[in-house]
Structure 1
Amino acid sequence: MVLYGSGGPLTKVVIYSVSAAPRPFNGWRIVGAAFTVLFVVYGVQFSFGTFVGDVVEDTGWSETRLQLIFAIYIGLYSAMSAVTGWLTDRWGPRPVVASGAILLTGGYLLWATANSLVVVAIGMVIVAPLGMSCSWVPCNATVVRWFVVRRGFATAIATSGGSLANIVVPPIAALLVGTYGWRTAIISMSIFGGGCMLLSSLVLERDPETVGQLPDGAQTSPSDSTENAIAGVSPAAAWRTIAYWQIFGVYALTFLAVFVPFVHGVQFAQSLGASLQTASTVISAIGIGGLIGRLVMGWVSDRIGRKSAVILALSLETASFIGMAFSNGLWLLYPSAVAFGFSYGGGVVVFPPLVADLFGRAHAGAIVGRIFATAGAMAAIGPYAAQLLHDALGGYRWAFLLSGLANGCALLIATRLPRVSKQQ
């Protein structure tokens, strides 16, 4: 525009600068999608104990063989998680989780429509483990890429989906079984869960840089980023350390027993006189404890240290198994289930930060995946062994006592873990 004054015309140029508004950070959408995936897959998985009694009564199939099929399913999906984590690094989470949705749904549908144990085995030993392996590791591997400063908090929220499923889904499964039968219950839950998993996969992105963003929603990338400068021990070098095998021993022993309450909790409560609907709430009690444990123990471990947090979790888990072993009514079983859920959930949340503390962040995903694929496969043994003990001795007391013993041994190993200073 032109202004006129005593000295003649004055020219003033006004320049307007318009910058694009910052895009909303997608990281919390990723957390929400991961939460949803873990909610539906673990909701169906932890309802196994609700289904199995009616399956045996309706078909005459051996409960021991069904427990063996479920044990193999757990072991295989744990082992295959190392592969799906590797695929997530290369292809991104979207095709991996989407494929998992189709496979997991297909596996459960084969079980629900089967007329022989052979078909059940095909669905739950071959197809379903492939699908289930596309959940926990791919989702958590994706979440940690989207966050640096708030990584622990984001991971805790995402993984709490599985614990919330323990609270909500088993009673729904029991209601569906009681109203429509076990086949309709599994078909409806697997289709609904597979659809939610498939839709959630569309939200997942490998990392924020893929969509022009930065971790934690930062607007600028610092020139001296701590995350960029982080070094770490390679998986091969970590494998040669005592600390690696100590962590492996801790989690192999605790994973050995971890699915025993999930698989046998409903039947144990029924043996104490509870109805199926009431007995299914034992799994919900575990879920309540697990939800609180996941959200609390990550925060606690930041303050008292990972080693102390692991020792605390394992001490409580050992006590919870002893409480279950001596339960003669729901008055002791419920608090024991809540304590187990809290300690199990808290111990799992501390696991990845413990690895990062001892070996650095650069290769933490690969090291966590390797330990999960091997130690996690131990979880297949516990439920089947518990069924054999039940058949031989007519009760669950020794199964719970031996589970407590396994956690006590894990606790002893945990006391030998190196303590990492906060400065390190």
Structure 2
Amino acid sequence: MTCASPVDSTRGWAVVVAGAVGSGIAFGTVYTFGAFFAAMVDDFGAGRGPTALVFGVTLLAFFGTGLVAAPLADRLGPRRLVLTGAVLLPLGLLFTSRVDTVVGGYVTYGIGVGVGGGLVIAPMYTAAGGWIVRRRALALGVVAAGNGVGTLILVPVADRLIADHGWRDAYVILAVVNLVVIGLCCAVVRRPPVPPAPPAVAWMKAVAATTAFRRLFATTLLFSVALYVAFGFVVDFATEEGIESGSAALLVGLIGASSVVGRLGLTTLSGRVPAVRLLQGCLAVQPVAFAVWLVADDSYPLLVTFALMLGVGYGGFVALGPEVAVGYFGVVGLGGVIGLLFLAFGLGGLVGPPFGGWLADASDGSTIPIAFGVVMSALAFALSLTMPIGTARVGTPAPD
């Protein structure tokens, strides 16, 4: 049943805040993997490549779940999906705390945490986009900013928990936090008062057939490959250069904190500057940031500069992506479109960390995987310059 409250209402903004908190805890939990990485490599006795694949499988499941969860949220409403994620994600953390092999981690963390988190984030985004019309870019930016704040808080907290309790008990504590916080968000989130979505599969096929979507998808994929090399290895590479573990973990937090600037600051400009142009600007920052990382070595100020630059560009891209999609395809059926874009993030996450880990193992250093990030991010920016501005022409969807 559609809720009687109007769009742009107080209830709508309450859903936006709940979306920011719920998706923030889910994103922040997934992105703590870098803090756990070295301990898991040692405990499992696996190399960087196989252990990084845990993160890759998680990202594929995390974002790939949106391919199903987002259009289901259009049809069923977000609450039941978020509630399922609120149970599945903590269970994945609990089971991960008990596994003894990296293969077990692929299942418990990769699938449990990944699918559980995906059932939280995709419905939250679609709900926020449906509830707020006049300030939709800001609403989506607020939800996306929650992701940055969650990363800023949870990564250093996870590092401290690992130091005090070990990585296994740290996952148990994070499981309790996720269960409580996401469970509370379920009490607030509501189905948005928007027209019924078109048949999900048919609409997604029609959107995917457009040139505008294909270029946006490919750009997002390349962007994500580079991005998750950074999230997967910035802590590990920094500690190898002699940076203290707490300071190294803080780098991921700084990426999250500066992403808030990109998410909120740039989305406020979207009414005056085309969202596609702002998106291209965000992508232009990423290869420069990776180049700074490439030459940083053991210079913590340069590593901080890299983290801040990457965070601003990443935050703006994540917040503006849905706004670009709305500009191309409209708000009706937005869940299906966001689900397709989440798939691009997931595929990038599946490729970036494992391949980066393999490059690190093969070269016995960080230079080659960071250079790989420079190349991928430069290609993403170049491809974005071919993206059109304006409404995309979508063919009439055939029945499912």
**Which of 291, 303, 309 is equivalent to 2:260?**
291
Counterparts of 1:25 and 1:331, CA distance in 2:
42
Deviation at 1:308, TM superposition (A): 1.6
Deviation at 1:376, TM superposition (A): 3.4
When Rg is computed on C-alpha atoms for both structures, the one with the higher figure is 1
1:32 matches 2:17: yes
Q: Secondary structure at the match of 2:134?
A: coil
* Higher relative contact order structure (alpha carbons within 8 Å, sequence separation ≥ 6): 2
Counterparts of 2:211 and 2:158, CA distance in 1:
44
Moved more, 343-352 or 83-92: 83-92
Q: Which amino acid aligns with 1:319?
A: V
Paired position in structure 2 for 1:218: none
Q: Any gaps of 5 or more consecutive residues in structure 1?
A: 1-23, 210-226
Q: Give per-residue Cα distances to partners, 1:51-107, cap 9 Å, x unaligned.
A: 121233345344432211221121122222111112212222111111111111111
**Which of 396, 406, 414 is equivalent to 2:376?**
406
Paired position in structure 2 for 1:354: 324
Deviation at 1:365, TM superposition (A): 3.1
**Which of 232, 253, 258 is equivalent to 1:263?**
232
Correspondence list, 1:18-57, <5 A = 25-57=10-42
Paired position in structure 2 for 1:4: none
Correspondence list, 1:160-179, <5 A = 160-179=145-164
Q: Give per-residue Cα distances to partners, 1:147-177, cap 9 Å, x unaligned.
A: 1112111111122111012222111111111
Paired position in structure 2 for 1:326: 295
1:419 matches 2:389: yes
**Which of 273, 277, 290 is equivalent to 1:304?**
273
Q: Which amino acid aligns with 2:212?
A: A
Q: Give per-residue Cα distances to partners, 1:85-142, cap 9 Å, x unaligned.
A: 1221222211111111111111111111223334323312332222121122110111
Correspondence list, 1:215-294, <5 A = 234-294=203-263
1:196 matches 2:196: no
RMSD over aligned CA atoms reads 2.1
Tell me: CA distance 1:394–1:191, structure 2 relative to 1, closer, same or farther (3 Å): same
Deviation at 1:33, TM superposition (A): 1.3
Counterparts of 1:263 and 1:121, CA distance in 2:
15
Question: What is the number of residues matched between the two proteins?
Answer: 377
**Which of 310, 313, 335 is equivalent to 1:343?**
313
Tell me: CA distance 1:389–1:181, structure 2 relative to 1, closer, same or farther (3 Å): same
Q: Which amino acid aligns with 2:69?
A: T
Paired position in structure 2 for 1:19: none
Paired position in structure 1 for 2:81: 96
% identity of equivalent residues: 25
Deviation at 1:185, TM superposition (A): 0.9
For the 8 Å contact 1:105–1:190, the answer to whether it is kept is: yes
Paired position in structure 1 for 2:363: 393
For the 8 Å contact 1:269–1:282, the answer to whether it is kept is: no
Counterparts of 1:79 and 1:55, CA distance in 2:
24
Moved more, 94-103 or 123-132: 123-132
Task: Give TM-score scaled by structure 2 length.
Answer: 0.89
Deviation at 1:375, TM superposition (A): 5.0
Q: Which amino acid aligns with 2:347?
A: A
1:66 matches 2:64: no
**Which of 330, 343, 346 is equivalent to 1:373?**
343
Moved more, 194-203 or 115-124: 115-124
For the 8 Å contact 1:110–1:119, the answer to whether it is kept is: no
**Which of 136, 140, 155 is equivalent to 2:140?**
155
Deviation at 1:240, TM superposition (A): 2.6
Task: Give TM-score scaled by structure 1 length.
Answer: 0.84
For the 8 Å contact 1:167–1:288, the answer to whether it is kept is: yes
Moved more, 237-246 or 197-206: 237-246
Q: Secondary structure at the match of 1:316?
A: helix
For the 8 Å contact 1:76–1:377, the answer to whether it is kept is: no
Deviation at 1:402, TM superposition (A): 1.6
Q: Which amino acid aligns with 1:298?
A: T
Counterparts of 1:375 and 1:114, CA distance in 2:
27
Paired position in structure 2 for 1:18: none
Counterparts of 2:269 and 2:368, CA distance in 1:
33
For the 8 Å contact 2:49–2:355, the answer to whether it is kept is: no
1:315 matches 2:284: yes
Paired position in structure 1 for 2:4: none
For the 8 Å contact 2:259–2:316, the answer to whether it is kept is: yes
Moved more, 370-379 or 126-135: 370-379
Deviation at 1:238, TM superposition (A): 3.0
Counterparts of 2:153 and 2:23, CA distance in 1:
13
Deviation at 1:387, TM superposition (A): 0.6
Q: Which amino acid aligns with 2:234?
A: G
Correspondence list, 1:69-88, <5 A = 69-88=54-73
Q: Which amino acid aligns with 2:280?
A: I
Moved more, 265-274 or 52-61: 52-61
Q: Give per-residue Cα distances to partners, 1:206-259, cap 9 Å, x unaligned.
A: 1258xxxxxxxxxxxxxxxxx99xxxx954333332222111121111012111
